[in-house]
Every structure is written in C-alpha cells, then in structure tokens.
Amino acid sequence: MSISLHDASIAVFIRGFANLSAILEKGRAYADENGIDHAELLEARLYPDMAPLTGQIQRASDTARFTAVRVGQVEPVAMPDTEVSFDDLQARIAATVDFLKAVPADAMYGREDAHVELKTPTASIDFTGTSYVLGFAAPNFYFHVTTAYALLRMKGVPVGKLDFLGRR
C-alpha cells in the first residue's frame, strides 16, 4: 500500500496544527497564571534575526497552505500577517485548517512527479511534487512548529514532547 501526497502533507499538517493550537493555549494559560504580559511570549525570538512566535505560526500556516496550492493546484487564500494576540493566532490556525480540510485528496493524486516551482526573492527552486512535500514543505512546517514550541518552552511554559507530538 502506498501513501498519497495528501496523506503525507495535508493530513500531517492538520494534526500538527491541532498540537500547535493546544501548545499555544498552554502558553496563554501560563502567561495568565503567572502575570506575564502576552506580548512577552508572542514577541519572543530565539535570536534577533529570527521571526517571533507570531511569525513562526504564520510561516507554518503559509507552508501548509502553499503545499496545497503548489502541489494540489487549489486556489490560494490570502492570509495577511496581522496576528498580534493568542486569539489572532488561534484564528489563523483555524482558518488554515479549514482551508486544508477543503483540499480534495484527489487534487494531489498523480502529482508525485509534477513540476513544482518555489520562487523566493533570490532564487527559483524546482521540485517534483514528492520532493517538494517530503524535502521542503514537511521539514519547513516542522521547523516553524518546533521553533514555536521552543520559544514557549524557553519562556517557561510547561510543555513537553507529548504536547508537541500529540497524544493520539
């Protein structure tokens, strides 16, 4: 039995967002219980040139959505990066998950060898559907989810490996 690109990406992203949402809620609760201004967590960075927690959530959202767009050839949905609160981030995650749930599995069927082009400000990178999902999108998604987790952990939020991985 083979695994589809949809199962290897969209389904994985949806599960990752469920875990990320729960981690964010733990962050909010921790801040509230300890009298910490939400901005201290939301604006936290691992290093000055890295995006803050809000940016990590935004990039995870972008990666997931653009996988559906680039590989599944579905119409993109604009999501401007305007999130400044835990509620905003939860809404971004919910909107992203709703978008992903609407991606038909057959949109990615047969797209394993399809040409996928990633344009950046400095380069254009060519992939196949499979190499994009497995070699770029999934690692990039988990980079941003892991960084969000690490930012909250660095600030003292009591999250652990099972929070990241999920309990199901």
Contacts of 94 (CB under 8 A, 6+ apart): 21
Q: Which two tokens stand for residue 85?
A: 């609160």
Q: What's the predicted TM-score (pTM) here?
A: 0.95
For 105-126, what is each residue's pLDDT tens digit? 999 999 999 999 999 999 999 9
Tokens 């690692």, residue located: 139
Give the closest residue to 159 by CA, choosing from 67, 29, 71, 53. 29
What are the pLDDT digits (tens) for 70-112?
999 999 999 999 999 999 999 999 999 999 999 999 999 999 9
Instruction: Identify the CATH number of the domain defined by range 5-165.
Output: 1.20.120.450
Domain boundaries, the chain: 5-165
